[in-house]
Amino acid sequence: MNEILMSNAPTEEKVLAVEHYTDRLFRFEISRPASFRFRSGEFIMIGLPKTEEQRKPIMRAYSVASPSWDDKLEFYSIKVEDGPLTSRLQKIKEGDTVLLGKKPVGTLVLDALLPGKRLWMFSTGTGIAPFASVIRDPETYERYDEVILTHTCREAGELTYGKRLVDSLVNDPLVGEMVDGKLKHITSLTREDYPLKGRITTLLETGKLFEEAGTPPLNPQDDRVMICGSMDMINDTKALVETFGLTEGSNSQPAEFVVEKSFVG
Ligand code: A2P
């Protein structure tokens, strides 16, 4: 019994880097144990060593933002002032310890989708995290002719993480040549002036999204969709995607689109 409990206990990892973007957003990197395997797009439990007042550590689900081939693990997080975990997590520094769960899971993986021509990833806020992993995975470009990542946020500063990442991909030794001409990054804002304004749901409803992407409207033969954001964003976006005739898939039953809620709190 003890042995089983021990083997499921999180591992203690070292913080390798921390970068803050806005007063609500930051990213961090931790060491990756050799035994830790995951598929690009999956999430894992992350926590901090328990304080004297805590009976056990507080752990929360986080999408791994780094690709499955990387020797480090990257996470992209919101900061919530009174959030049980993020109030403390936002203060981590290089060299600190972070707890890492052992069982990565999730549906935002290439295997949960049927083969197709075009992969769309619709994200809002920190919902871009799993897609930061998927767009760095060579398999994504082997499976699809076109890869389109959309990211909608309230304000410009919240787009920085995704923009820097996408810009850096051209020089990436592994996927640099694959992303060239194949990966499109469409960004929109809802609460500040910006060339493209509006929620992803609005862009889908008006067809503005397809104009921006230079594609025909979604269709179940060619298009595959991954959705990640708040619960409301997922429900509303999913309902719209279904109106184009796409059906929801899972690991056990791959289909045309998949959804997952991004971490909050
Ligand atoms: P809005 O500014 O109109 O609320 P949040 O930080 O609250 O998760 O929001 C991130 C982005 O997701 C914002 O641009 C927000 O737009 C948008 N959003 C919020 N709710 C929905 C929804 N139900 N459907 C689509 N987009 C949404």
Beta carbon of 190 within 6 Å of any ligand 1 atom: yes
pLDDT tens for the chain, 265 residues: list them.
455 555 789 999 999 999 999 999 999 999 999 999 999 999 999 999 998 888 999 999 999 999 999 999 999 999 999 999 999 999 999 999 999 999 999 999 999 999 999 999 999 999 999 999 999 999 999 999 999 999 999 999 999 999 999 999 999 889 999 998 899 999 999 999 999 999 999 999 999 999 999 999 999 999 999 999 999 999 999 999 999 999 999 999 999 999 998 876 5
How close is the Cα of 153 to the center of ligand 1, in Å?
7
- pTM of the full predicted structure? 0.96
Beta carbon of 197 within 6 Å of any ligand 1 atom: no
How close is the Cα of 233 to the center of ligand 1, in Å?
6
How close is the Cα of 11 to the center of ligand 1, in Å?
34
Note the pLDDT of residue 1. 47
Question: How crowded is the C-beta side of 203, counted as CA atoms within 13 Å?
Answer: 24
Beta carbon of 192 within 6 Å of any ligand 1 atom: no
Note the pLDDT of residue 222. 98
Note the pLDDT of residue 114. 98
CB 188 within 8 A of CB 194: yes
Q: Which atom of ligand 1 is nearest to the CA of 232?
A: 23
Note the pLDDT of residue 47. 96
Beta carbon of 143 within 6 Å of any ligand 1 atom: no
CA distance 72 to 58: 22
Q: Say how many C-beta atoms besides its own lie within 10 A of residue 114's C-beta.
A: 12
What is the per-residue burial (b if ≥16 Cβ within 10 Å, else e) of 158-167? bbebbeebbe
Note the pLDDT of residue 6. 57
Beta carbon of 152 within 6 Å of any ligand 1 atom: yes
How close is the Cα of 31 to the center of ligand 1, in Å?
32
Note the pLDDT of residue 8. 81
Beta carbon of 201 within 6 Å of any ligand 1 atom: yes
How close is the Cα of 124 to the center of ligand 1, in Å?
7
Q: Say how many C-beta atoms besides its own lie within 10 A of residue 48's C-beta.
A: 18
Q: Which atom of ligand 1 is nearest to the CA of 127?
A: 8
CB 104 within 8 A of CB 42: yes
Question: How crowded is the C-beta side of 109, counted as CA atoms within 13 Å?
Answer: 20
Beta carbon of 233 within 6 Å of any ligand 1 atom: yes
Ligand 1 atom 3: residue of nearest CA = 190
Residues forming a β-bridge with 27: 19, 76
CB 30 within 8 A of CB 73: yes
Note the pLDDT of residue 5. 54
